[in-house]
Chains A and B, each alone.
Chain A
Amino acid sequence: MSDPTPQHDGTTPSDRTAPTDATTGLPADPTRDDATSADATTADATHDAATPVVDDRLQEVTGAPHLMTDSATDSERREGRWSDALRSIVNGSVLTTVLAVVLALIASGVLIALTDKDVQAAAGYFFARPLDTLRAVGTAVGGSYSSLFQGSVVNFGAPSFATAIAPITRSVDYAVPLIAAGLGVAVAFRTGLFNIGGQGQVLMAAAAAGWVGFSFDLPAIVHIPLTILAGIVGGAVWAGIVGLLKARTGANEVVLTIMLNYVALYLVSFMLRTPGLLQAGGSPNPISPATRDSAVLPSLFGSRFGIDVGFLVALVAVVVVWWLMNKSSLGFRFRTVGENPRAARVAGMSVPALTVWVMVISGALIGIAGAYQVEGAVTTGFTSGIDAGIGFDAITVALLGRSRPWGVFGAGVLFGALKAGGYSMQAANGVPIDIVLVVQSLIVLFVAAPPLVRSIFRLPAPGARKAPRASKKEAVVTK
């Protein structure tokens, strides 16, 4: 009865980071495709002491529009910190996301400058000729970001229009598996589950799709969908195991998915080393036969451009997930479980069954990424490295896209562009491609720490209940 946690204000992180910026006057969140809640987010700021609580019988008596909730009687959420953190990230505003990207680029610019040879040399005589250093910094950072841009969006130096826009098609190409897998992770996120088993699911999907892709000789019109379907089934089964175990035994899905990553990795390695399973005949190497041409995704606009049919599949997946999460009854129940599993249970929803289903769907979407890897990215036979880190990048994509379908799409394209641009940056400026990883990581770091971003840009905190002091410092103290 007595609640020992010092949560006298009943604030939860999700409260504090609820979407909107009434003060800045920015649209609450254009990509928040949740049609029903869009008005709500703009209409009022946050559910907090700082917020006008909409009420009440008393209004008519006094004419005063607002009341405060008595903080102590507010509910205290008792779920784990993980889900709280998840919820706060998912409900973060689009402004913080954009600013996080800007901040990450600035921070990475500092890194590029610091590691640049010319900058280091010029800094040696900084006090004699400070302009030299600044010029060197400008060249290094500007040059790097310029080639990042030209390598990922538009190449200004290209002789023809076709070659000029080739980079953006390459970015989209890289983005396809990220979008698909990001959607999978996002669907689980919104149901309150942390699926970090993307690696394992991509591997199992790639193995299944790869096997179908090289074993059968079928017309392309049948072979391509069948191969994708095999990937979907592979990923769905692998994630479904996690859902079943969690629903049946209450095991933690984070632990389960991590462990199944290892199982998948070694299982696929074993199959790749075993003739008759996945290993290409006549080779001692752990590599599969090449995907048959009939299973390779055709390009949409000719081979000069990266975009292939996989992009259409990704677009369809985005639309399907949008319908699922925002329009369908099943998605409504998924979201209920994600926001408040106890209320879901009281409302007669079967949380275990929904857990299984959402994991199956999550795995299926990640499976598309696995299928794409063997049908689009690497068609010459795959190894146990076929997942290419997509399983983990998908988590960052889902976080950055705030688990909204079109947000994931945008984040996937951004990460695809970083990947594509990273190579040309390395080639042209000698900046290691790892800097792209740093940018990605920093973006996620800043997205996950909205108070940090807010305090850097002096944005008002969406909720100030916990803040003992006024305005500026709020953002820091709320965490």
Chain B
Amino acid sequence: MKLELRGITKRFGSLVANDHISITVEPGEVHCLLGENGAGKSTLMNVLYGMYQADEGEILLDDVVQAFDGPGDAMRSGIGMVHQHFMLVPVFTVAENVMLGQEETAFGGRLDLAGARKRVREISERFGFDVDPDARVEDLPVGVQQRVEIIKALSRDASVLVFDEPTAVLTPQETDELMGIMRQLREAGTAIVFITHKLREVREVADRITVIRLGKVVGEASPTASNSELAALMVGRSVELVVDKAPATPGDAALVVEGLTVTDPTGLVLVDDVSFTVRRGEVLAIAGVQGNGQTELTEAIMGLEPVRSGRITLDGREVTGRSVKQILDAGVGFVPEDRKEDGLVGEFTIAENLMLDRADSADFVRAGTIRAAERDAFADEKIAEFDIRTPGRTTAAGRLSGGNQQKIVLARELSRPLRLFVAAQPTRGIDVGSIEFVHKRIVETRDSGVPVIVVSTELDEVVALADRIAVMYRGAIVGIVPASTPRDVLGLMMAGELPAGTELAA
């Protein structure tokens, strides 16, 4: 089925989220929508999926104008969506999830589970998925859960499939498999809309690329365009994709982690006997697919997660089992991976957020009262220094874009004398411009002689920032390798394999 969006305009108050966007997706074609976070891609897809009503413009399927009142209408017309956050019920089986929303019943109102199972098997076979219809969704790996989403869409005879940032949660290998699936679907005549901001993936599968910036189509590109051409289109100017940094001049060992083990309350091992050393003036990147113990490792270092066994020392002093407060006071700066949940208070002003972890320090408090003048002066200074784009220090942090929010967290953490800097997913979900800025500050911190740990699931970021790379898989470190290690080796390590002959760096 051919999908056409004609002059779609969607306004929210004075904000024009989509400004006369027109795109056409032919059957058997992968059409990439490329754009930064906040460019309006998701709004456009929500319009297509019937969640928003366009203020102007129309949606055509096979040249027939459609009017969608909700996702139900869109689904019935043959549009399927694979969401970034899966819309699955974790405790249901695959078959139950697939039938959810279009339950068929047998005599007496019984659910026709057998029919659903059969459907799952049929689709799985057609595309070579290995999905057991009776498996519970929560027991499945993320990549497989995503396939369940795809099966769900296909079981409703979707002939237009929308993938909304589908690779955010996948390993490189799983991403490659997804690309294979998309090609297969394309062969079968499905029209595919692929939303992403990752340039490599775009060039791999796209037949056509439409770049969206600030709600407008700013250009079309062919899949043969270079990364920097695409990035320039996305951002509206040329972007450095490599981090400009001098070779590290590592000093003494600063942070020493020995045999660190973290378990959850049920005894499940989350961090498994991890040992590593970070020296002054170097960046140790911790790579790995999301959920392989990196979060718990950083939380254990920060005192947020109890340590089951092992030792952590910083500059020779034991910090194992200390409180978060004591660890912060020992000079550890921390950028949490979920900045909205852990790093900021959205309702608080920028100034208040900038003093969040010094709420009882003499810098900002005298006689139990917050020194408003000092707080505000500090905020103004940091807003200028970190280029935080805001109308003023009294703007609520939650109203800023992701990049500016991250700059607040960075500004706060880098404004104390540091002995260790831990940045978890420092550039997740922020715009290219801010990414550059964050990377620059991390390298500056390293160059000032502070040991730095960067946890990232983005291989590009790991390779760009690291002096050494530790790859985690299922809670353990597979190996610590030099930054020059080839990507395919890193990819294998992220899947738990250490190829023979890999040069180690620890």
Q: Which residues of A contact B (CB under 8 A)?
A: 1-4, 6-8, 14-15, 18, 23, 35-41, 43-59, 61-62, 64, 66-75, 77-78, 87, 91, 323, 327-330, 332-333, 335-336, 339-340, 342-350, 464-465, 468-470
A-chain residues with CB within 8 Å of residue B137 when the two chains form the complex: 4
B-chain residues with CB within 8 Å of residue A346 when the two chains form the complex: 302, 304, 324, 334, 336, 342-343, 357
B275 within 8 A of A: no
A-chain residues with CB within 8 Å of residue B169 when the two chains form the complex: 1-2
Q: Looking at the complex, which one of A2, A18, A58, A66 makes contact with B235 (CB distance below 8 Å)?
A: A58
CB closest chain-A residue, reference B92: A4
Within 8 A of A (CB), among B171-214: 213-214
A-B contact list, 24 entries, CB within 8 Å: A2-B85, A2-B142, A36-B349, A37-B347, A40-B395, A46-B399, A50-B15, A52-B13, A53-B400, A56-B389, A56-B403, A61-B235, A72-B165, A75-B338, A75-B340, A75-B346, A327-B370, A329-B360, A348-B327, A348-B329, A349-B359, A350-B323, A469-B53, A470-B55
Q: Which residues of B contact A (CB under 8 A)?
A: 12-15, 17, 36-43, 46, 50-53, 55, 69-70, 83-90, 137, 142, 145, 164-165, 169, 213-215, 235-237, 290-291, 302, 304, 323-325, 327-329, 334, 336, 338, 340-349, 351-352, 356-357, 359-360, 364-365, 368-370, 372, 389-392, 394-396, 398-404, 429, 431, 433-434
Q: Looking at the complex, which one of A38, A39, A64, A339 makes contact with B348 (CB distance below 8 Å)?
A: A339
Q: Give the Cβ gap from B48 to chain A, nearest Cβ, in Å.
A: 13
A-chain residues with CB within 8 Å of residue B398 when the two chains form the complex: 15, 47
- A36 and B391 contact, CB distance less than 8 A: no
- A52 and B15 contact, CB distance less than 8 A: yes
Known: A6-B87, A54-B404, A67-B214. 13 other contacts (CB 8 A): A55-B403, A56-B403, A61-B235, A61-B236, A67-B39, A68-B43, A75-B338, A77-B341, A329-B364, A340-B345, A340-B346, A346-B334, A347-B328
The CA of A421 and the CA of B389, in the complex, are separated in Å by 53
Given contacts A51-B399, A54-B401, A72 and B84 within 8 Å (CB-CB): yes
Given contacts A39-B394, A49-B43, A73-B429, A58 and B236 within 8 Å (CB-CB): yes
The CA of A35 and the CA of B398, in the complex, are separated in Å by 18
- B431 and A47 contact, CB distance less than 8 A: no
- A70 and B37 contact, CB distance less than 8 A: yes
- B400 and A68 contact, CB distance less than 8 A: no
- A55 and B41 contact, CB distance less than 8 A: no
Q: Give the Cβ gap from A41 to chain B, nearest Cβ, in Å.
A: 8
- A347 and B357 contact, CB distance less than 8 A: yes
List the 7 closest A-B pairs by CB distance, nearest first: A57-B433, A75-B340, A348-B325, A55-B401, A347-B357, A50-B12, A67-B38
**Which of B85, B213, B395 is the most central at the interface, judged by chain A CB atoms within 10 Å of its CB?**
B85
Q: Give the Cβ gap from B151 to chain A, nearest Cβ, in Å.
A: 15
**Which of B55, B291, B342 is the most central at the interface, judged by chain A CB atoms within 10 Å of its CB?**
B342
B-chain residues with CB within 8 Å of residue A35 when the two chains form the complex: 372
Q: Give the Cβ gap from B92 to chain A, nearest Cβ, in Å.
A: 9
- B86 and A2 contact, CB distance less than 8 A: yes
CB closest chain-B residue, reference A72: B84
- B342 and A342 contact, CB distance less than 8 A: yes
- A57 and B434 contact, CB distance less than 8 A: yes
- B359 and A332 contact, CB distance less than 8 A: yes
**Which of A36, A44, A61 is the most central at the interface, judged by chain B CB atoms within 10 Å of its CB?**
A36
A-chain residues with CB within 8 Å of residue B51 when the two chains form the complex: 468
Given contacts A57-B433, A67-B401, A72-B165, A329 and B359 within 8 Å (CB-CB): yes
Given contacts A67-B214, A343-B345, A329 and B370 within 8 Å (CB-CB): yes
Q: Give the Cβ gap from B100 to chain A, nearest Cβ, in Å.
A: 11
CB closest chain-B residue, reference A469: B53
- B402 and A73 contact, CB distance less than 8 A: yes
The CA of A362 and the CA of B214, in the complex, are separated in Å by 48
B-chain residues with CB within 8 Å of residue A39 when the two chains form the complex: 392, 394
CB closest chain-B residue, reference A39: B394
Q: Give the Cβ gap from B219 to chain A, nearest Cβ, in Å.
A: 13
A-chain residues with CB within 8 Å of residue B17 when the two chains form the complex: 49, 68
CB closest chain-B residue, reference A12: B346
- A36 and B346 contact, CB distance less than 8 A: no
- B396 and A47 contact, CB distance less than 8 A: yes
The CA of A2 and the CA of B97, in the complex, are separated in Å by 14
Given contacts A54-B390, A54-B404, A69 and B89 within 8 Å (CB-CB): no
Given contacts A52-B15, A54-B401, A67-B214, A72 and B164 within 8 Å (CB-CB): yes
The CA of A49 and the CA of B360, in the complex, are separated in Å by 35
CB closest chain-B residue, reference A79: B341
Q: Give the Cβ gap from A370 to chain B, nearest Cβ, in Å.
A: 26
Given contacts A47-B398, A328-B370, A347-B356, A57 and B84 within 8 Å (CB-CB): no
- A327 and B369 contact, CB distance less than 8 A: yes
The CA of A45 and the CA of B357, in the complex, are separated in Å by 28
- B83 and A37 contact, CB distance less than 8 A: no
Given contacts A8-B85, A37-B348, A69 and B391 within 8 Å (CB-CB): no
The CA of A407 and the CA of B344, in the complex, are separated in Å by 27
B-chain residues with CB within 8 Å of residue A49 when the two chains form the complex: 12, 17, 43
The CA of A70 and the CA of B340, in the complex, are separated in Å by 14
B-chain residues with CB within 8 Å of residue A3 when the two chains form the complex: 85-86
The CA of A293 and the CA of B50, in the complex, are separated in Å by 72
Given contacts A8-B85, A54-B395, A55-B389, A336 and B403 within 8 Å (CB-CB): no
The CA of A54 and the CA of B387, in the complex, are separated in Å by 13
B-chain residues with CB within 8 Å of residue A332 when the two chains form the complex: 352, 359, 370
- B42 and A72 contact, CB distance less than 8 A: yes
Q: Looking at the complex, which one of B213, B324, B343 makes contact with A62 (CB distance below 8 Å)?
A: B213
The CA of A64 and the CA of B327, in the complex, are separated in Å by 43
Q: Give the Cβ gap from B434 to chain A, nearest Cβ, in Å.
A: 7
B-chain residues with CB within 8 Å of residue A336 when the two chains form the complex: 345, 348, 356, 359
CB closest chain-A residue, reference B35: A70
- A62 and B90 contact, CB distance less than 8 A: no
**Which of A7, A57, A344 is the most central at the interface, judged by chain B CB atoms within 10 Å of its CB?**
A57
- A56 and B404 contact, CB distance less than 8 A: yes
- A45 and B13 contact, CB distance less than 8 A: yes
- A44 and B399 contact, CB distance less than 8 A: yes
A-chain residues with CB within 8 Å of residue B369 when the two chains form the complex: 323, 327-329
The CA of A67 and the CA of B402, in the complex, are separated in Å by 11
Q: Looking at the complex, which one of B12, B53, B304, B347 makes contact with A339 (CB distance below 8 Å)?
A: B347
Q: Give the Cβ gap from B127 to chain A, nearest Cβ, in Å.
A: 20
A-chain residues with CB within 8 Å of residue B323 when the two chains form the complex: 348, 350
**Which of A15, A18, A329 is the most central at the interface, judged by chain B CB atoms within 10 Å of its CB?**
A329
A-chain residues with CB within 8 Å of residue B236 when the two chains form the complex: 58, 61-62
Q: Looking at the complex, which one of B12, B215, B347 makes contact with A51 (CB distance below 8 Å)?
A: B12
CB closest chain-B residue, reference A337: B345
The CA of A328 and the CA of B400, in the complex, are separated in Å by 26
CB closest chain-A residue, reference B50: A468
Given contacts A51-B15, A73-B429, A2 and B145 within 8 Å (CB-CB): yes
The CA of A288 and the CA of B453, in the complex, are separated in Å by 67
- B359 and A333 contact, CB distance less than 8 A: yes
The CA of A301 and the CA of B242, in the complex, are separated in Å by 77
B-chain residues with CB within 8 Å of residue A37 when the two chains form the complex: 347-349, 394, 396
B-chain residues with CB within 8 Å of residue A70 when the two chains form the complex: 37-39, 41-42, 429
CB closest chain-B residue, reference A67: B38
A-chain residues with CB within 8 Å of residue B357 when the two chains form the complex: 346-348
B-chain residues with CB within 8 Å of residue A74 when the two chains form the complex: 340
- A58 and B214 contact, CB distance less than 8 A: yes
Q: Give the Cβ gap from A201 to chain B, nearest Cβ, in Å.
A: 25
The CA of A40 and the CA of B391, in the complex, are separated in Å by 9
- B365 and A43 contact, CB distance less than 8 A: no
- A53 and B401 contact, CB distance less than 8 A: yes
B-chain residues with CB within 8 Å of residue A339 when the two chains form the complex: 345-348
- B394 and A36 contact, CB distance less than 8 A: yes
Q: Give the Cβ gap from A10 to chain B, nearest Cβ, in Å.
A: 9
CB closest chain-A residue, reference B41: A70
B-chain residues with CB within 8 Å of residue A348 when the two chains form the complex: 323-325, 327-329, 357
Given contacts A62-B213, A72-B42, A40 and B349 within 8 Å (CB-CB): yes
Q: Give the Cβ gap from A214 to chain B, nearest Cβ, in Å.
A: 36
